[in-house]
Amino acid sequence: MEQLRIDEIAKRLLAKVPEAARNIQADLEENFRAVLRASLARLDLVSRDEFEVQSKVLERTRSRLEALEARVKELEAAKSARGA
């Protein structure tokens, strides 16, 4: 996840902390960031770029599969016509 997003989430969490505890703001903010990074690191996530690449690969694969399925049908029809 982008550093900017982590910072934004950490600031939102900090805004929920009571006023009395805000004097330790820097420590809390850094702890929020560390917890968020650790939690996100455990998730099985991919970057947007990787996702886009894999989507394009899948599109091409589907297209080729459809073409192959059509070709198999043609061959089966030709075989049936010769055998009939």
Domain that holds residue 74: 46-84
Residues 83 and 71 in one domain: yes
pTM of the model: 0.49
* Contact present, 53 and 39 (Cβ < 8 Å): no
Q: What is the pLDDT of residue 3?
A: 65
Q: What is the pLDDT of residue 62?
A: 97
Residues 50 and 81 in one domain: yes
Give the Cβ contact number of residue 68 at 10 Å. Answer: 10
- What are the start-end ranges of the H helices in the chain? 3-15, 25-42, 48-83
For residue 35, the one-letter residue type is: V
Q: What is the pLDDT of residues 30-68, one digit of tens each?
A: 888 888 888 888 888 888 899 999 999 999 999 999 999
Residue 70 pLDDT greater than 90, yes or no: yes
Residues 31 and 13 in one domain: yes
